[in-house]
Amino acid sequence: MMTTTSAYLTVRGIDIDVVYKDIKHVHIGVYPPAGRVRVAAPTRFDDDTIRLAVVQRLSWIRRQRKELAGAVRQSTREMVTGESHYVWGTRKRLKIVERPGRSHIELDGERLVLYASTNSTSEQRRVVLDRWYREQLRSALSDLISRWERELGVTVPKWTVRKMKTKWGSCNRETRNVWFNVELAKKDPVCLEYIVVHELMHYFERGHGARFAALMDKYLPDWRMRRDELNGAPLAEEEWDV
């Protein structure tokens, strides 16, 4: 039976999931939706050997991540009745209701209802939807961050929601500011909590090595399951159909 252990490294600003196995050669993969990099390495390899292997494939890794990000940008959103959009991990059917007044969004069972001004363009509707996703995420983050500040005994001076091409979240250890990808509003809430805890753990540990994994195990024991669920979620261009 093959035995495995895992660790986390950061190489040239890229977070790397490392899985040690009883294999002969190193294997590097880049996975959707956020370009997660995973290395399967022989158990005899140390961190420096893995870093060297990653650096040697760095141009390929960056090209793969760029293609994943480009796939999202190339997808055209028509913003018409019948399209499907994810809200907190659940697929909702979009319904456009044109009427005078301020554009806004409401959830109605399995429907995502966008009340739009008459003759509004697809781009204007996308702006309304993006603003709504941000509001949903900010509301959820406010409660989550407050709870984990108490749990970890830390204070988050500033956190921000923004579009991010290849990361679900980011933490600046010097300023202690944290950023969250607006796309998280489309994922299951357990995934959002995983990202919150992950980023706040960087207050205690810069990298993704054994100590980081131990801290995650202590405070969020099922974090690996949540991470896998998040990274296995559909790409953005798969989230709409007519």
Number of domains in the chain: 2
Please determine, for residue 234, whether its predicted confidence score (pLDDT) is greater than 70.
Answer: no
Please indicate, yes or no, if residue 152 is contained in any of the structural domains: yes
Q: Give the three-state DSSP class for 120.
A: coil
Range of the domain at 228: 84-238
Please determine, for residue 240, whether its predicted confidence score (pLDDT) is greater than 50.
Answer: no
Q: Rounded distance, CA 127 to CA 158, Å?
A: 24
Query: Do 69 and 88 sit in the same domain of this protein?
Result: no
HSE toward the beta carbon, residue 29, CA cutoff 13 A: 11
Q: Rounded distance, CA 63 to CA 57, Å?
A: 10
Please indicate, yes or no, if residue 145 is contained in any of the structural domains: yes
CB 200 within 8 A of CB 179: no
Please indicate, yes or no, if residue 234 is contained in any of the structural domains: yes
Query: Do 20 and 96 sit in the same domain of this protein?
Result: no
Last residue of a domain, one of 22, 45, 74: 74
Instruction: Tell me the pLDDT tens digit for each residue of 96-137.
Output: 999 988 899 999 999 999 999 888 999 999 999 999 999 999
Last residue of a domain, one of 30, 53, 74: 74
CB 153 within 8 A of CB 143: no
Query: Do 220 and 201 sit in the same domain of this protein?
Result: yes
Query: Do 27 and 110 sit in the same domain of this protein?
Result: no
Helix or strand (DSSP H, E) at 161: strand 159-162
Query: Do 64 and 180 sit in the same domain of this protein?
Result: no
Please indicate, yes or no, if residue 79 is contained in any of the structural domains: no
Closest CA to 99 of 118, 80, 81, 113: 118
Instruction: Tell me the pLDDT tens digit for each residue of 64-105.
Output: 888 877 655 545 568 999 999 999 999 999 999 999 888 999
Tokens for 22, please give them: 């009883």
Please indicate, yes or no, if residue 222 is contained in any of the structural domains: yes
